[in-house]
Structure 1
Amino acid sequence: MVLSLVNLCAREVVSDHSSSPNWLKWVPRELYRALLEAAFASCRPLAVGELVQRWPERSLRVGGRRKPRQAVPNRLCIQALLLAVVRGLTDQRCALQVLDLCGLQGDEGGMGDSMGGWSLTVALCTMVVQARTGAQRAQRKEGDHERKRFSALERARDLKREKGQRKGPKNLDDTCSNGERTGTSGPVSEEETIKGVRRRMEVERKKTIAASGLGDSKVDVEEKSVDIDVLVHVRADLFVNSRSWERVRLALSSPGPLKLQCRYLRVEEISVSSIRTLLALLPCQGLLGVDIRYSSLGVAGLAELLPLLSTFPSLNSLRLHYCNLDFRRDIFGQEDTLRDLSQGLAHLQELRRLSLTALRLPGQLRVLLSSLPQPLEILELPYLSLSPADLAYLSCSHHASTLQQLDLSENRLDTNTLSSIRRLLSQASSSLQHLSLSGCGLTDGLLGLLLPSLGSCWALKSLALALNPLSMAGLLDLVRMAARMPSLRQLLYPNPLEDYQPGLPDLPSSAQLLDWPLDEAPDFNMTSSQLNRVLTDSGRHDLFLTCDLLNYDKDLVE
């Protein structure tokens, strides 16, 4: 990557923090973005904090879609940014109103010192709560100052009245006439007036307490009576599990100068009631996707959540991974629950992505997908034990011609389903960009029948066929076909059966191929050399071949 002159100068400027007082006050607002990017790239958290605290623009976006292999911002820099946002609330030089941190998080436990999704969510919620506490403290101090000033004025007025009383009335008749008008003497009427003002203030205070709730504590009443304006809207992707749920709930439910908004919500291992509470707290505008993992929803629990999901008008992605959706006809009421599930999906007007992983709903794909009002663009159905009827419906559904990503991994394919797969690929040939058929039991014979349909997908950019029992001959046929696809950029191929140690069954499963040891002979790299030779002979230098299942990422395709 070639850096521009501005980027090079910005990196030099932020490299020395001791000189920041000399240049920071003279920097024009047009250079703040370049300086902040240089501070992130050079891992200068102090410079990040100073720049963000006096950010001169209305909005600041940090994160977004990163380029392939682009480094994630350092954890210390992110923490400095969050602290600077709180400090900037009281800094007159800061004009920040919208902070967008969507896509900022890195991989949990990944390389480097990046901040993962869970850690970033906890830090964001802590920032929101701290900002609210600071604003309440500032308002209480301001209120105490006003009360002290009012008391000082009252004391000054009392002193003036006492001096007037010592001097005495100049005219007794005037005093009597004043007393007759008020029903008592002049000085007493003034004291009663002051008491009346205080009495009215006490009544108003009691009314406020009563309106706040009779059972609330004194601290709760003070917090409810504080009206804090929202100064900065913070938008981010939230990752919530049982350890962070309470902190997220507190940050979303309490008013303060920072208002937290969510673009993509990912929840793990929390109950249906907790997910329902969380969805009720999120602003309806702006939520694009919900990802629920390892939560025992059940069909009934999902049917209960779908009406809440329909209240988010921009929701276009729903992902359910290992959520214990098990449909069995022998359980009473399951048919009615599945019907409720279908009706709930029908209200998701903008849904374009649906991911269902390891859900035991064989033969029910028509019930689920036919109710969606709009055709899907991304459909992921791994480990679903799809039946021939499911694949037959999918190949003829209104989703087939619009699919851009399709994942059928770990669904067993055979001669009974091959015709449906070929028809599905024919329908999606002009739109399909990413296809995964890993672990589908494709032998040399089945793959040979499927290759013409795969080759007709002229828009395909990535193809994953790992953990299929292919021989070296079948693998070479696959690579020759891939070399004739001009749009294809990545191919995840399986290790040929010849590369495994002896003892492997004739038709091994994907689990056996994953666990069986590979042959460690010196000529093990011959497979890669042969495949690359095919690409070289075909003149393809832009097609990336890999058998590394763990590090394969289709999103690396530009």
Structure 2
Amino acid sequence: MVLPLVDLCAKEVVSDHSSSPGWLGCVPRELYRPLLDAAFTNCRPLAVGELVQRWPERTLRVGGRRRQGQSPPNRLCVQALLLAVVRGLADKRCALQVLDLCGLQSEEGGVGDPMGGWSLTVALCTMVVQARAGAQRALRRDGERERKRVAAMEREKDLVKREREKPANEEEEGGRPLAKCVRTEKAGPETSGCPGEGERVKGVRRRMEMERRKESAAAPVGGSAGEESDHSEDTEVVVVHVRADLFVNARSWDRARAALGTPGPLKLQCRYIRVEELSVSSIRSLLDLLPRSCLMGVDIRYSCLGVAGLALLLPQLAAFPALSSLRLHYCNLDVRRDIAGQEGALRDLSRGLGQLGQLRRLSLTALRLPGHLRMLLSSLSQPLEVLELPYLSLTPADLAYLSCSPHASSLQQLDLSENRLDESAVPSLRQLLSRASGCLVHLSLSGCGLTNELLAALLPSLARCRSLKSLALALNPLHLAGLLELVRTAVGMASLRQLLYPNPLEDYQPGLPPMPTSAQLLDWPLDELVAVHEATSLQLDRVVGESGRSDLFLTSDLLNYDKGC
């Protein structure tokens, strides 16, 4: 890819940090964005910090979708960015008001040492807490300077008042009235006919105290009395709104609560939040701290919620008007056992889902809810666009409901992986594919036990899905003949761009059961003879080559498959 001239020049400028004092003072604001992109791309954290500290625009977006082949920002560059945001709070050249980091996080351990979701969340929370502490220290310094200024003004006013009263005292210095005043002052102020020096000083101080109170009411300053309340009021003034996707677990819970629950110059806002291994009470406390307007998705993983716990969370989620995505992974909602009160909790769960009026994505992984799909989905007020039900132990009755439900004609992504399908499920699945043929973009039927005969019954319905771009059929017990028929159907689908196909049974080592499960296919070793795999690849390439489809990507790599690539 040929870089534009601006990008090439920006790369050269940020490559030499010793020259930054020369160009930072004169670079126009239009070039800040190319320079920052070049600093991120070439891993120049010092340049990142200097540019962000004096960012000339109100908004700075760093996350979001990256260009093809573009790696995520380096960890050092992200840390330099966060430190520069805190320093920019005291820099008058910085105009930053909104920092958007949504989509910045990546998988831990990626190429180029990127910053993962958990590390980024911890760094963000630390930045917010440090900014608040710095603001409090600045307030204390300003308050101390103001108190010294007021004390100096009081001393000056007292001195001026004394100078004004001095001529009147000098006129009576040789006369009797002054002596009388002096004698009666010794006797006591009650019997004196003229005010004593102590009374005059008290009167001056009283008037100055009244004036100082009037000034304080007009322009309040920090003082030693009620200092903490003054700080809390002043630090509520938000300078920069920070938008990000948060990843909170048991180790980062305390830090996230401190960052979200205390006001300061940086206000943390969450678009998508992912929580792991937290109790129901901790998740509810965390949701109470999140701003209501911007939360769009909640992802709960590896938390022992139970049906009753999830039923308690859903009404609280209904308070977020923009919430459109709910994902529950391995949250222990197993209802296969006969438990007292289970049906009532399921009804509460269904009503709670019905309160999420903007829900468009629902992911339920390994929740073990056989036969309850109608109860869960029938209460939704709007049809879903993304439905992911892997490891859900779906029954033919569940598939029959789904094929007739309002969601079938609006689904863009459907994941039925690891749900065992047989002959009784084929009619419902064909009807479902027929109703979703105009909108379905991503479909996953991996690990569903599809044999050559079952897949042959589904291929005509799959071929009519005119919007389908990615199809995943890994870990299905197909023979080579069934795999070749699958590829012939795939090359005839003009919209299809990716096909995740299963290794044929002929490619495995001997000893595999006649009807292996997906777990057996995943663990069983492939044949060590390279010629066996090459023969399969040559036959698949021949089918694709004869069709002239150069835009169709075929892979059997389950671990590195990405349907959005």
Normalising by the residue count of structure 2, what TM-score does the alignment of the two structures yield? 0.91
Contact 1:267 1:291 in 2 (8 A): yes
1:185 aligns with 2:195: yes
Distance 1:543 1:496, change over 3 A: same
Question: Measured at CA, do residues 160 and 200 of structure 1 come closer, stay the same or move farther in structure 2, by a change above 3 Å?
Answer: closer
Q: Distance in 2 between the 1:99 and 1:325 partners?
A: 38
Deviation at 1:359, TM superposition (A): 0.3
**Distance in 2 (alpha carbons) for counterparts of 1:197 and 1:326:** 74
Amino acid at match of 1:412: R
- Secondary structure of the residue aligned to 1:477 is helix
What is the CA distance between 1:156 and its match in structure 2? 2.5
5+ residue gaps in structure 2? 182-188, 217-224
Alpha-carbon separation, structure 2, partners of 1:162 and 1:539: 103
Q: What do the CA deviations read for 1:95-128 (whole angstroms, capped 9, x no partner)?
A: 1100100000110222321000000001011111
C-alpha displacement of 1:24 = 1.2
State the one-letter code of the partner of 1:194: R
Distance (Å, rounded) in 2 between the aligned partners of 1:137 and 1:396 = 63
Whole-angstrom distance in 2 between the partners of 1:22 and 1:479: 60
Counterparts of 2:430 and 2:370 in 1: how far apart (Å)? 21
- Residue equivalent to 1:450: 458
Contact 1:318 1:351 in 2 (8 A): yes
Aligned equivalent of 1:549? 558
Quote the offset at 1:191 in angstroms.
1.1
* Deviation (angstroms), 1:152: 1.5
Is 1:47 the counterpart of 2:47 in the alignment? yes
Paired residues of 2:474 and 2:556 also in contact (CA < 8 A) = yes
Superposed displacement of residue 529, structure 1: 1.5
Change (3 A) 1:270 1:23: same
Q: Indicate the SS of the match to 2:303.
A: coil
- 1:292 partner amino acid: I
Q: Which amino acid aligns with 1:191?
A: K
Instruction: Give the Cα separation in 1 of the matches to 2:148 and 2:535.
Output: 86
Q: Give the letter aligned to residue 542 of structure 2.
A: R
Task: Name the counterpart of 2:141.
Answer: 141
- 1:437 & 1:219 partners in 2: Cα distance? 63
Question: Residues 229-283 of structure 1, C-alpha deviation per residue, up to 9 Å, x if partnerless?
Answer: 1111000000000010110111011111111000000000011111101111111
Task: Determine the structure 2 residue equivalent to 1:209.
Answer: none
1:526 and 2:535 correspond: yes
Q: Is the 8 A contact 2:158 2:204 kept in 1?
A: no
Describe how 1:315-326 pairs up with structure 2 within 5 A: 315-326=323-334
Pairing 1:194–2:205 present: yes
Once residues 115 and 50 of structure 1 are traced to their aligned partners in structure 2, the CA distance between those partners, rounded to angstroms, is: 20
- Aligned mate of 1:486, from 478, 484, 494: 494
Q: Trace 1:134-533 onto structure 2 (pairs within 5 A).
A: 134-163=134-163, 169=169, 170=171, 185=195, 187=197, 188-192=199-203, 194=205, 221=229, 223-224=231-232, 226-328=234-336, 330-523=338-531, 524-533=533-542
* 1:499–1:40 Cα change, 3 Å: same
Q: Distance in 2 between matches of 1:125 and 1:184?
A: 67
Distance 1:381 1:200, change over 3 A: farther
State the secondary structure of the residue aligned to 1:19. Answer: helix
Quick one: distance in 2 between partners of 1:129 and 1:105?
A: 20
Structure 1, unpaired ranges of 5+:
206-216
How far 1:161 sits from its partner (Å)?
A: 4.4
Counterparts of 2:317 and 2:529 in 1: how far apart (Å)? 54
Map 1:59-138 → 2, pairs under 5 A: 59-138=59-138
- Deviation of residue 158 (structure 1)? 3.2
TM-aligned CA deviation for residue 336 of structure 1: 1.3
Quote how far apart the aligned CAs of 1:334 are.
1.3
1:535 aligned residue: 544
- One-letter code of the match for 1:354? L
* Structure-1 separation of matches of 2:389 and 2:86: 43
Q: In structure 2, what residue type is equivalent to 1:148?
A: K
User: How far is 1:522 from its partner?
Assistant: 2.7
For the structure 1 residues 154 and 514, does the alpha-carbon distance in structure 2 shift closer, same or farther, using more than 3 Å as the test? Answer: same
- Residues 5-44 of structure 1 mapped to structure 2, 5 A cutoff: 5-44=5-44
Equivalent residues of 1:429, 1:459 under 8 A apart: yes
| Contact map agreement 2:336 2:370 (CA 8 A) in 1 | no
CA contact (8 A) 1:329 1:335 kept: no
Give distance in 2, aligned partners of 1:9 and 1:183: 88
Between the two proteins, what is the percent identity of the paired residues? 69
What is the root-mean-square deviation in Å for CA atoms of aligned residues? 2.4
Q: Which deviations, in whole Å up to 9, do the C-alpha atoms of 1:505-532 show, x marking residues without a partner?
A: 0000000000001001030222112101
Q: Deviations over 1:112-160 (max 9, x none)?
A: 2100000000101111111111111101100000001111222223334
Q: CA deviation at 1:228?
A: 3.9
Structure number with bigger Rg: 2
For 1:51 and 1:40, locate their aligned partners in 2 and report how far apart those are by CA, in whole Å. 11
Encode CA deviations 1:205-229: one digit per residue, 9 max, x unaligned.
9xxxxxxxxxxx9885564354441
Residue 551 of structure 1 deviates from its aligned partner by 0.2
Q: CA separation in 2, counterparts of 1:194 and 1:74?
A: 62
Give the secondary-structure state (helix, strand or coil) at the position aligned to 2:283. Answer: helix
